[in-house]
Chain A
Amino acid sequence: MAKSVYSKVDEYGFERSENFNYDVHDKFMSQYIRVLTRRSQRWNSIKGNIFSKPNVLKRFIRKGVPSDLRTSVWMRVSGGEEIRTNSSSTYNNLREKIDNQYIIDIIQIDLPRTFPENIFFSAHEYLPKMLFNVLATFAHQNKDVGYCQGLNYIAGLLLLATKDEEASFWLLKALVEKILPQYYIVTMTGLLIDLDVLDELVHKYEPVVHRHIQNVGMPWAMGTTKWFICLYSEVLPAETVFRIWDCLFNEGSKIIFRVAITLIRLHKDKILQTSELGELIGCFRDMRNHESVINCHQFMQEVFRLSGNLSNSTLSKLRAKYNQERTK
Chain B
Amino acid sequence: MATNRTGTAQRPNGATQGKICQFKLVLLGESAVGKSSLVLRFVKGQFHEYQESTIGAAFLTQTICLDDTTVKFEIWDTAGQERYHSLAPMYYRGAQAAIVVYDITNQDTFGRAKTWVKELQRQASPTIVIALAGNKQDLANKRMVEYEEAQTYADENGLLFMETSAKTAMNVNDIFLAIAKKLPKNEQTTGQGGSAQGRRLAEGDAGAKTAGNCCK
Point out residues on A near B: beta carbons under 8 Å.
106, 109-110, 112-116, 122, 148-150, 152-153, 184-188, 192, 215-219, 221-222, 225-226, 229-230, 234, 275-279, 281-282, 285
Contacts and interface: CB of A to CB of B under 8 A. Distances in A.
A101 B202 CA distance: 40
26 contacts: A110-B53, A112-B49, A113-B50, A114-B53, A116-B51, A149-B53, A149-B84, A150-B55, A184-B83, A186-B82, A186-B83, A188-B83, A192-B86, A215-B199, A217-B202, A219-B90, A221-B90, A229-B55, A230-B55, A234-B52, A276-B1, A276-B202, A277-B198, A278-B198, A279-B1, A281-B59
Contacts of A285: 58-59
B173 interface: no
Given A184-B83, A221-B56, A225-B56, 6 more contacts: A114-B52, A116-B52, A222-B56, A222-B90, A276-B194, A281-B59
Contact of A149 (B31, B87, B194): B31
A116 B50 contact: yes
Residues of B in contact with A, size category? 20 to 34
Minimum-distance CB pairs A-B, first 4: A225-B56, A276-B198, A277-B202, A275-B195
Contact of B59 (A115, A150, A278): A278
A172 to B, nearest CB: 16
- Interface on chain B toward A: helix, strand, loop, or mixed SS? mixed
Contacts of B1: 276, 278-279
Interface of B: 1, 31-32, 48-53, 55-59, 61, 74, 79, 81-84, 86-87, 90-91, 194-195, 198-199, 201-203
Contacts of B83: 148, 184-188
User: Which of A114, A185, A222 has the largest number of chain B CB atoms within 10 A?
Assistant: A222
A185 B84 CA distance: 10
Nearest to A215: B199
A226 B55 contact: yes
Given A109-B31, A149-B31, A278-B198, A226 B50 contact: no
B203 A217 contact: yes
